[in-house]
Amino acid sequence: MEFTTDQIMAVLESILEPQSKSNLLQLKMVRDLKLDQQQLFFNVHLPSANYAHRAELFEAIHLAFQEKLPELNINAHFVTKQASSEAPNTVVPQIKNFVAVASGKGGVGKSTVSANLALRLHALGFKVGVLDTDLYGPSMPTIFGIKSHRPAIRQVQGKNYLIPIDVKGIPVISLGNIIEPEQAVVLRGPRLAAIIKQFFQDTVWPDLDYLVIDLPPGTGDIQLTLVQTIPVTAVVLVTTPQEVAVADAIKAANMFMLDQIAVPIVGVVENMAFFVPDDAPEKKYFIFGKGGGQRLADFTKSKLLGQVPIYESIRARADHEISLFDEDASTELFTEIARQVVERVELRNKTMNPTKIVQMA
């Protein structure tokens, strides 16, 4: 029998810490959760070394799992490491969550998903910003209709800082607004890395619940620099249903799943899932095949967050033939995807340690 994270969370949520009577997830006591078929491993962070309810809690955990998921073997390890020993986000502490949107193949819709995810998070009331790290082919200036805009520069104690461009309350930074595209193609390794670092260290970001980070395709210098610069909270993978897109996405997923990198993948968006013609809305054409999104979600032990069809309006909104802020047939779908991203990121923050900035020799 296969177990899902949701089933496990439900059990953990039912277990009360004897002293406070709050559940283990609320108290963020469960960390480093790992599910391997029938085996569940996790650490339980105790408030102090001489915590009085250790035995009681141990029993409560085992009883709850025995009752609700009897076939699962529980390996709960009690530790007294304090939360304060975890790596804090010191680079840009005003940003709570960094959500990177990644894929293996190009052109599958990362930038489209990033922009729509940000718009829907904003509509749900979250403080959200967008960072375009696709330095070779930045899309955000076009999608947000700000091609001719330049970020303001502010001098603080003799040093220059970038101010993100405000798009109706969403701060956006893209290299496309800083240098001409012809100049970008000559950028190489160390310069690229320096620019990515500037986007955090030399940029005045406001307080944000989510910074949505649009990545270039694949697993190159930009992805590596990013995980060496900030603690990326979570990755959302984008794929089309097609086998070649999934195969490439698995390679990208493998990079984030490496022990040294360890950025949790919170879900998969299957984009261009099918086509519905305007003149025959009852028909669905599966142009790129079927099932790729689910396969990728299974491989990464995450969740299929949604299947976005090919809609002319999605393309037209990106090209500004209609307003990006206008609702269309995809609004509800992207709202649901945004809600699930919030839910899964919150769950990730409750059950796993903050991501560590990758240190490379």
Ligand X SMILES: Nc1ncnc2c1ncn2[C@@H]1O[C@H](COP(=O)(O)OP(=O)(O)OP(=O)(O)O)[C@@H](O)[C@H]1O
Residue ranges that bind ligand X, judged by CB under 6 A: 103, 106-112, 134, 137, 139, 216-217, 271-272, 308, 310-311, 314-315, 318
Rounded to the nearest whole angstrom, what is the least distance from the CB of residue 143 to ligand X in the complex?
A: 8
Q: Which residue is nearest to Mg ion (CB)?
A: 111
By a kind-dependent CB cut-off of 5 to 8 A, residue 174 interacts, out of ligand X, Mg ion, none, with none
* Least distance CB 271 / Mg ion (angstroms): 11
Q: Does 105 bind Mg ion (CB under 5 A)?
A: no
Nearer to Mg ion, 106 or 169 (CB): 106
Kindly state whether residue 223 participates in binding Mg ion, applying the rule CB under 5 A: no
Strand partners, 171: 166
CB of 176 to Mg ion, least distance (A): 11
By beta-carbon proximity to ligand X, the closer residue of 139 and 355 is: 139
The β-bridge relationship of strands 165-167 and 170-174 is antiparallel
Instruction: List the helix and strand counts (H, then E) for the chain.
Output: 11, 13
Kindly state the helix (H) or strand (E) to which residue 57 belongs, with its residue range: helix 54-68
Minimal distance in Å, beta carbon 152 to ligand X? Answer: 26
Nearer to Mg ion, 11 or 212 (CB): 212
Kindly state whether residue 139 participates in binding Mg ion, applying the rule CB under 5 A: yes
Bridge partner residues of 128 (DSSP): 210
Strands 159-163 and 152-156 turn out to be: antiparallel
**271 binds, options ligand X, Mg ion, none, Cβ within 5 to 8 A by partner type:** ligand X
| Minimum distance, C-beta of residue 82 to ligand X, in the bound complex (Å) | 41
Contact between 295 and Mg ion by CB under 5 A: the answer reads: no
Residue type, 272: M
Residue 271 binding Mg ion, by CB under 5 A: no
Q: CB of residue 303 vs Mg ion: minimum separation in angstroms?
A: 23
301: left (phi over 0), alpha (psi -120 to 50) or beta: left
Q: Which residues pair with 95 in a beta bridge?
A: 208
Q: For residue 283, give Cα distances in angstroms to 105, 108, 240, 279.
A: 28, 22, 19, 9
Which of Mg ion, ligand X, none has residue 311 at its interface (CB below 5 to 8 Å by kind)? Answer: ligand X
What's the CA angle centered on 182, arms 179 and 185, to 5 degrees?
95
Residue 314 contact, options Mg ion, ligand X, none, Cβ 5-8 Å cut-off depending on partner type: ligand X
Residue pair 273/309 in contact (Cβ under 8 Å)? The answer is yes
Nearest-approach distance from CB 315 to ligand X, in angstroms: 4
Q: Which of Mg ion, ligand X, none is residue 340 near (CB under 5 to 8 Å by kind)?
A: none
8 Å CB contact between 135 and 216: yes
Mark 106-125 with x for binding to Mg ion (rule: CB under 5 A) and - for no binding.
Answer: ----xx--------------
Is 240 a binding residue for Mg ion by CB under 5 A? The answer is no
Which range of residues in 11-19, 85-93, 134-142, 228-236 is near Mg ion by CB under 5 A? 134-142
**Interface stretch with Mg ion, choices 11-19, 97-105, 137-145, 254-262 (CB under 5 A):** 137-145
**33 or 324: CB nearest ligand X:** 324
| Residue 168 to residue 284: CA distance in whole angstroms | 35
Q: Provide the greatest CA pair distance for the chain.
A: 70
Mapped to the 3 state alphabet, what secondary structure does 258-324 carry? CCCCCCCEEEEEEEEEEECCCCCCCCCECCCCCCHHHHHHHHCCCCEEEEEEECHHHHHHHCCCCCC
Task: Name the token pair of 73.
Answer: 């073997």
CB of 216 to ligand X, least distance (A): 6
- Select the binding partner of residue 308 from ligand X, Mg ion, none (C-beta < 5 to 8 A, by kind): ligand X
Binding residues for Mg ion, rule: CB under 5 A, are 110-111, 139
